Copies of this chain bind each other. A is one copy, B any other.
Amino acid sequence: MKDNFFKYIHELQDTITSRFEKIDGKAKFQEDIWKRPEGGGGRTRIIENGNIIEKGGVNISGVHGKLPESMQNYFGVKDADFFACGLSLVIHPKNPMIPTVHANWRYFEMYNKKGEIVDQWFGGGQDLTPYYLFDEDAKHFHKTCKKACDLHNDQFYKKYKMRCDEYFYNTHRNEARGVGGLFFDYCKATSDISMQDWYNFVTEVGNSFLNAYIPIIEKRKELSYTESQRKWQEIRRGRYVEFNLVHDKGTLFGLKTNGRIESILMSLPPHVQWVYDHKPKHGSEEERLIKVLQNPIDWV
Contact = CB atoms under 8 A, between A and B. Distances in A.
Nearest to A260: B277
B245 A262 contact: no
A173 interface: yes
B275 A273 contact: no
A32 B277 contact: yes
A55 B30 CA distance: 35
A30 to B, nearest CB: 8
A211 to B, nearest CB: 27
Q: Which interface class (under 10, 10 to 19, 20 to 34, 35 or more) fits A? A: 20 to 34
Contacts of A46: 276-277
B271 A266 contact: no
B32 A275 contact: no
Contact of A255 (B48, B246, B269, B273): B246
A53 interface: no
Interface in A214-251: 238, 241-242, 245-246
Nearest to A242: B245
A172 interface: yes
A276 B270 CA distance: 9
Interface string A281-299: 0000000000000000000
B173 A261 contact: yes
A265 interface: yes
Given A172-B261, A173-B261, A268-B238, A48 B246 contact: no
Given A241-B245, A245-B241, A272 B273 contact: yes
A206 interface: no
Contacts of A276: 30, 46, 48, 55, 57, 262, 266
A268 B262 contact: no
B275 A274 contact: no
Nearest to A49: B275
Nearest to A56: B276
Contacts of A48: 275-276
Nearest to A57: B276
Contact of A274 (B30, B242, B268): B268
A1 interface: no
Interface in A51-90: 55, 57
Interface of A: 30, 32, 46, 48, 55, 57, 171-173, 238, 241-242, 245-246, 252, 255-256, 261-262, 265-266, 268-277
Given A48-B275, A172-B255, A272-B272, 14 more contacts: A46-B276, A172-B256, A173-B261, A238-B268, A242-B245, A242-B265, A245-B245, A262-B277, A265-B274, A266-B276, A268-B274, A269-B274, A270-B275, A271-B272
16 contacts: A30-B276, A32-B277, A46-B276, A48-B275, A55-B274, A55-B276, A241-B245, A241-B272, A242-B245, A245-B245, A245-B246, A246-B255, A266-B276, A268-B274, A270-B273, A271-B271
